Amino acid sequence: MHSTPSYKTGAQHKSVPTSPMTWLQERKQFVRALLSNPAAIGAVAPSGAALAAAITASIQPKAGKVLELGCGTGVFTREMLRKGVAPSSLVLVEQDSEMSSSLRTQFPEAAVLQVSAQDLSRHSHPELNGIGAAICGLPLRNMSGALHHKLLTAVFEAMHPGGSMHFFTYGVRCPISSSVLDDCGLLARRERFVPLNLPPASVYRLHRRA
């Protein structure tokens, strides 16, 4: 590492005191987490740059706080900073202890919560107040419908009325059942297909019904 990267915020460039992971460090951390809890990772490699760009494409830098679920090694987080999201606007949720510790080092201005995403609530986590959008990197295909319902309820209770959640899946269809979506009053729309990711992935947007 030769210098601290500069991220664009609005019309200005702001130097952010982060410690970006090297390619090798990132993959070592990912493999350790995968071996420790395969079901919680649900992938064979960290998400690539193409998927990071696709899943964060709709995030507006000044639209309020951004909640990121299952941050892993911080691939999506770094992409949001690159696009101009302020580090202090990020609420990062990562249950794995090593990964959450790394996130605190990389993004010292962000709020990092080492907690299961299904256990989030505004009552116990005031950091959730003012959420404008959410990014989800959790392996939703590995979760039950009951966990989907609990997760989505927590996220959308914390989010502004016009907010939406963006997530990806390696499957051929939305991993959240229509019954769960109906119960939560949500609609899911497939927005992008990312063939260059390993494995190829689809990006979905969840939003409240009109």
Judge whether 32 lies within some domain: no
CATH label of the domain that carries residue 199: 3.40.50.150
The predicted-structure confidence for 136-152, as pLDDT tens digits, reads as follows 999 999 999 999 999 99
What pairing do the DSSP bridges indicate for beta strands 6-9 and 90-93? unpaired
**Interval 153-190: pLDDT, tens:** 999 999 999 999 999 999 999 999 999 999 999 999 99
77-89 confidence digits (pLDDT tens): 999 999 999 999 9
Q: Are the C-beta atoms of residues 14 and 7 closer than 8 Å to each other?
A: yes
Residue 31 in any domain: the answer is no
Task: Specify if 35 maps to a domain.
Answer: no
pLDDT band at 14 (very low <50, low <70, confident <90, very high): very low
Say how many domains are in the chain. Answer: 1
The pLDDT > 70 percentage for the chain reads 78
Is the residue at 101 inside a domain?
yes
Give the neighbor-by-neighbor strand order of the sheet with 65-69: 111-113, 90-93, 65-69, 131-136, 164-169, 201-208, 186-194
Q: Is 13 part of any domain?
A: no
Of 29-38, 107-116, 156-165, the poorest mean pLDDT is in 29-38
What pLDDT does 41 receive? 47
* pLDDT of the residue at 4: 36
Q: Classify residue 35 by its DSSP letter.
A: H
Q: Are 42 and 141 in contact (CB under 8 A)?
A: yes
For residue 96, give the nearest of 63, 138, 133, 62 by alpha carbon. Answer: 138
Q: What was the pLDDT predicted at 57?
A: 96
Domain that holds residue 94: 48-208
Kindly state whether residue 39 falls inside one of the protein's structural domains: no
Identify whether 77 is part of a domain: yes
202, part of any domain: yes
Q: Does 10 or 167 have the greater pLDDT score?
A: 167
Cα–Cα nearest to 153, from 96, 91, 208: 208
Beta strand pairing status for 65-69 and 131-136? parallel
**Summary mean pLDDT of the chain:** 84
